[in-house]
Amino acid sequence: MEAQEHQAAATEAPKSGHNEIYDEDGVVLASFLAHIGAAIADRDTLTLKQDVAALHESELGHLLEALQPDQRRSLVELLGTDFDFSALTEVDEAIRLDIVESLPNAQIAQAVQELDSDDAVYILEDLDQEDQDEILAQLPFTERIRLRRSLDYPEESAGRRMQTEFVAVPPFWTVGQTIDYMREDNDLPDSFSQIFVIDPTFRLLGAINLDQILRTRRTVKVEDIMHETRHAIPATMDQEEAAREFEQYDLLSAAVVDENERLVGVLTIDDVVDVIQEEAEEDLMRLGGVGDEELSDTILAASRSRVPWLLVNLFTAFLAASVIGLFDQTIERVVALAVLMPIVAGMGGNAASQTMTVTVRALATKDLDIYNAWRIIRREMGVGFINGIIFAVLIGIVAATWFSDPYLGCIIASAMVINMFVAAVAGILIPLLLDRYGVDPAVASAVFVTAVTDVVGFFAFLGLASLWFGFG
Amino acid sequence: MEAQEHQAAATEAPKSGHNEIYDEDGVVLASFLAHIGAAIADRDTLTLKQDVAALHESELGHLLEALQPDQRRSLVELLGTDFDFSALTEVDEAIRLDIVESLPNAQIAQAVQELDSDDAVYILEDLDQEDQDEILAQLPFTERIRLRRSLDYPEESAGRRMQTEFVAVPPFWTVGQTIDYMREDNDLPDSFSQIFVIDPTFRLLGAINLDQILRTRRTVKVEDIMHETRHAIPATMDQEEAAREFEQYDLLSAAVVDENERLVGVLTIDDVVDVIQEEAEEDLMRLGGVGDEELSDTILAASRSRVPWLLVNLFTAFLAASVIGLFDQTIERVVALAVLMPIVAGMGGNAASQTMTVTVRALATKDLDIYNAWRIIRREMGVGFINGIIFAVLIGIVAATWFSDPYLGCIIASAMVINMFVAAVAGILIPLLLDRYGVDPAVASAVFVTAVTDVVGFFAFLGLASLWFGFG
């Protein structure tokens, strides 16, 4: 998670370095994997240290994910202190826990000291309270206080994701003094793109981008070139909200402040990129009826996480079935209705899911708000009506031909227009209402929308048919 | 798209500046909108210039989106040269085109010169060739050549998104010389986090992060502290691939090089964040059966873009219907089958869409590859089997009770186990196979998967029922 090109690797490895690890699809090369696998089997520490040391943390992460569980643990054990723990921030939670729990707490404590504080917190936060305390107890005082402070902020808050290493100077320093300080102090963060200006109590006064410092003469005071930090992030702010600030204002890094406006850390864009990615992924997963599942979850964990959604859907399925049950005598006389009825319900469901997808996404990105809601609702109704007519005609003709019954064609066509229009309305209004009442539209929309299109689809088609053919 | 806090605004506006524009949900305040609307109606240029000048480009973008089309055009007209064209990179394509096309080309040419080259290209690329040429013709020579070069790269390539302004120095310069050059040259990019080292033919030799320069003594030569640029991005590389490089290696900026390895521009993380966002969104939209739709699309455009997916689904719906048609005589005798059959098909569809969502996302993030495919396939089969048993029991009991027929309960239970298992297999194998054969799994999976779960669901349930009750 370090916002810096991997210099060590760049110097040792040839320019095409990582091309030798991945094939053209970006998958870890089978030959590289076999080579590492053999070295693990032979306990060939020398080869491992040589070939794995040149990897970027994310490359090492991919390697770990591609290995078998026992190979993973052996690799970490064989590398010893040469294992780059920051690679653990790049793998699935289940893999991370498996590796960390296989190691003695003393070794983890040792490794954690080498990490940036944000990476250390990322690894520690998933551990039991007991292990966490034991590891923290073995750290030097300042390190311990820093990590403890981050861990005390709520999960998924800016305080958890921030880096506690930063450069801060007093306002009366000159640019020259600041540059000299950076040249002499060896305790700087690994990389940074901004320095902060603070008062003696650590209260944040402003920030300066590095390029600004480089363009300014040495005699100028920092307070004269600093800009006010409009986007200081409270440590308790949710990481998603912080990510949105970054996105909207194109920030590279932002100061994180505590409840007294005191500077406690810095949040950098590279950490935020992961949050943005996760957030978009969350909507997709929720719309698909899967929660926070990870690929490394076990069968039972995955099964358990998916049952609730299926259960809710089961109720809507029985609801739809009971609508069909109302018309069982009509179906008994005209069995073609049973053959055709899933088409009406299904096409409505598909049309509604199109509208719902657009709506849920627009709500998530805040592109849909009270200013354009009515316009979008009107648009969706228009789309539903036009597409309803198109598919009513198509399906009507096919059904009339199939069962040699023009009346049946007219009935299914009318039902289609009704259901496609209702589908559009449900597809936009349900997510909007859920959002309005504080329910995540990505989680709950699909169930309600399907219930509506199923019920209306069956009711409209079988109802119209019963009016025409009689109720049995 | 400028990777810098908005200094002008920060100085003029109080710290809580943007809180006055948005309500707590991040929506533009109705009072602010009314205020601006009134100023537009009164053609009160002074108020507009004052209140709009303090806005960040993204805030101005949100304001434009919240206004009515005619208000938008008036606002831009009234602001004249005070209108910040970079706000146009923050709005929907339809709105951008509407505004740009309402302006004379001469005014656009004037405005484009004030923009960073990446923003200028972003606005120009959507225009007709003719307008583009006319605008470019009115630009100074170097500006024209730069933009033309970017526009000559393929759409959605790194060359289109790069900024052509950058700082580059020869390898024999010292850190001191470099700093002095930056202090004296007024033609620097607005903000930057890296400087590049090039030979006299502009061939890229390396890069140095600004913090590295600040920590190094003035007498050191840049070639001694530069790092090799492992992640130089070819200008023709697809923007998504470039985004993945940024994500994997936590880059803040990267050199963009032409086919001769000559430095032509720099790609920065703030542009890449938009690409990452779009990419995740694309999968969600495709899974939901909507293409590159935007909220500002017209009814006809939206309708047209959704018809193809519905059309393909229509075929699978008729396929499922014809499976039901095979068993019409059984249904005529046991009408409860018609009532229950959508449950079997629907639950299978829901289970399959869960598996499919996980698979499509894992393929997109490259978390699913040949090394774990078999493990994941086995896991999904396990989940499908377990959830199949759970819901078979539930549905079997309800159906047996509803129709007072234990045999019917057993039949639907058996059909459920079969369909949930098949759903799991289809949900993972279909996206995997599509991906293998170069078809985007997000676009095509849902159709095939639904076809399978519908056909198998109806066939298993009605087939088993026919075996038990007789074929009519």
**B206-209 contacts, C-beta under 8 A, 24 or more apart:** B206/B171, B207/A5, B207/B255, B209/A4, B209/A5, B209/A191, B209/B252
Taking a contact as any Cβ pair under 8 Å apart, which residues of chain B between 97 and 116 contact chain A? Answer: none
Q: How far is A332 from chain B (nearest CA, A)?
A: 5
Question: Confidence band (pLDDT; 50, 70, 90) for A391?
Answer: very high
> How many H helices and E strands in chain B?
22, 6
Inter-chain residue contact A280 with B285, CB threshold 8 Å: no
pLDDT score, position A368: 82
> Across the interface, which of A317, A329, A371 has its CB nearest the CB of B66?
A371
Contact A295 B338 (CB under 8 A): no
Say how far apart CA B283 and CA A162 lie, in whole Å. 30
Of B280, B321, B356, the CB nearest to A342: B321
CB contact under 8 A, A290 and B209: no
* Alpha carbons B15 and B17: distance in angstroms, whole number: 5
Cβ contact B314–A210 (<8 Å):
no
Which chain B residues are closer than 8 Å to A24 by Cβ?
none
Q: Is B387 on the interface with A (CB under 8 A)?
A: yes
* Angle, alpha carbons B407-B411-B413 (nearest 5°): 115
Q: Which of A2, A26, A310 sits opposite B387 (nearest CB)?
A: A310
Contact A5 B227 (CB under 8 A): yes
Q: Is A338 in Cβ contact with B324 (below 8 Å)?
A: yes
User: What's the pLDDT tens digit per position in B266-284?
Assistant: 998 888 888 887 777 787 8
Residues of A (119-138) whose Cβ lies below 8 Å from B = none
**A296 neighbors A61 (Cβ within 8 angstroms):** no
CA–CA separation, B215 vs B218, rounded Å? 9
Nearest to B252 by CA among A273, A12, A264: A273
User: Cα distance from A133 to chain B (closest Cα, Å)?
Assistant: 30
Q: What is the pLDDT of residue A389?
A: 94
CB contact (8 A) between residue A383 and residue B18: no
Nearest to A141 by CA among A162, A99, A113: A113
pLDDT in tens, A101-116: 888 888 899 888 888 8
A444 touching B, CB under 8 A? no
Selecting from B58, B179, B250 the residue whose C-beta is nearest the C-beta of A3 gives: B250
The chain B residue lying nearest A6, using CA atoms, is: B249
- Which residues in chain A are closer than 8 Å to B251, comparing Cβ atoms? 3, 5
For residue B280, the chain A residues in CB contact (below 8 A) are 277, 280-281, 284
Question: CA neighbours within 13 Å on the CB side: how many for B26?
Answer: 13
Q: Which residue has the tokens 């030798």?
A: A20
Test A346 with B454 for CB contact under 8 angstroms. Answer: yes
Asked if A452 and A352 count as a contact pair (C-beta separation under 8 A), the reply is yes
Question: What per-residue confidence (pLDDT) applies to A472?
Answer: 58
DSSP B261: S
CA dist., res. A179 & res. A195, Å (int): 11
Average pLDDT, chain A: 86
Q: What is the 3-state secondary structure (H, E, C) of A358-418?
A: HHHHHHHCCCCCCCCHHHHHHHHHHHHHHHHHHHHHHHHHHHHHHCCCHHHHHHHHHHHHH
Which chain A residue is nearest to residue B3, measuring alpha carbons? A250
pLDDT, residue B419, reads 94
Å between A44 CA and nearest CA of chain B: 23
**pLDDT higher than threshold 50 for residue A17:** no
Which B positions 26-85 lie with beta carbon below 8 A of chain A? 26-28, 30, 33, 56, 58-59, 65-66
Decide if A230 and B5 are in contact by the 8 Å CB cutoff: yes
- Give the integer Cα–Cα distance in Å for A279 and A285: 10
Distance CA A75, CA B178 (A): 44
Q: Are A310 and B309 in contact (CB under 8 A)?
A: no
Q: Check CB contact under 8 Å for B342 and A331.
A: no
* Distance between B221 CA and the closest CA of chain A, angstroms: 15
Beta pairing partners, B238: B157
Q: Do A372 and B27 touch (CB under 8 A)?
A: no
Closest Cα in chain B, distance from residue A51 (Å): 17
The CA distances from residue B410 to A131, A318, A371, B465, B471, in Å, are: 50, 17, 54, 10, 18
Nearest-CB residue to B17 (from A230, A269, A339): A230
C-alpha to C-alpha distance for B246 and B249, rounded to whole angstroms: 5
pLDDT in the model for residue B472: 58
Quickly state the pLDDT bin for A3 (edges 50, 70, 90): very low
d(CA A331, nearest CA chain B) in Å: 7
Phi first, then psi, for residue A264 (nearest 5°) are -115, -15
On whether any CB of chain A is under 8 Å from the CB of B393, the answer is no
Q: In what order do the strands lie in the sheet with B194-198?
A: B168-169, B194-198, B204-209
Using DSSP, state whether B189 is helix, strand or coil: coil
Note the pLDDT of residue B387.
93
For residue A104, what are its two tokens? Answer: 């003695």
By the CB < 8 Å criterion, does B326 face chain A? no
Residue-wise pLDDT for A425-448, tens only, equals 999 999 999 988 888 888 888 888
Percent of chain A with pLDDT strictly greater than 70: 95
Segment 192-231 of chain B within 8 Å of chain A by CB: 192-193, 207, 209-211, 213-217, 227-231
Torsion of CA B314, A417, A435, A312, to 10 degrees: -60
How many angstroms away from the CA of B144 is the closest CA of chain A? Answer: 26
Q: How many CB atoms lie within 10 A of CB A462?
A: 27
Whether chain A has a CB inside 8 Å of the CB on B20: the answer is: no
Euclidean distance between CA atoms B100 and B98, whole angstroms:
6
Find the range with the poorest average confidence among A207-216, A367-376, A397-406, B32-41: A367-376
Q: Which residues of B touch A398 (CB under 8 A)?
A: 318
Closest-CA distance of chain B to residue A184, Å? 7
pLDDT in tens, chain B (472 residues): 443 443 333 333 333 344 478 887 778 888 898 999 999 999 999 988 888 888 888 899 989 988 888 999 999 999 988 899 999 988 888 889 889 988 888 889 988 888 888 899 999 998 889 999 999 999 999 889 989 999 999 988 999 999 988 899 999 999 999 988 888 876 777 778 889 999 999 999 999 988 888 888 889 999 999 988 777 899 999 998 898 888 888 888 899 999 988 999 999 888 888 888 777 778 788 888 887 777 778 888 888 888 888 888 888 888 988 898 888 888 888 888 989 999 999 999 989 989 998 898 888 877 787 778 888 899 999 999 999 999 999 999 999 999 999 999 999 999 999 999 999 999 999 999 998 888 888 888 888 898 899 999 999 999 999 888 876 5
Best of B21, B24, B250 to disrupt the A interface (most A CBs within 10 Å) is B250
Domains and CATH numbers, chain A: 7-157 (1.25.60.10), 168-287 (3.10.580.10), 299-469 (1.10.357.20)
Token pair 């309402």 is at which residue?
A: B102
Q: Return the sign of the alpha-carbon dihedral for residues A330, A334, A335, A340.
A: negative
What pLDDT score does B14 carry?
37
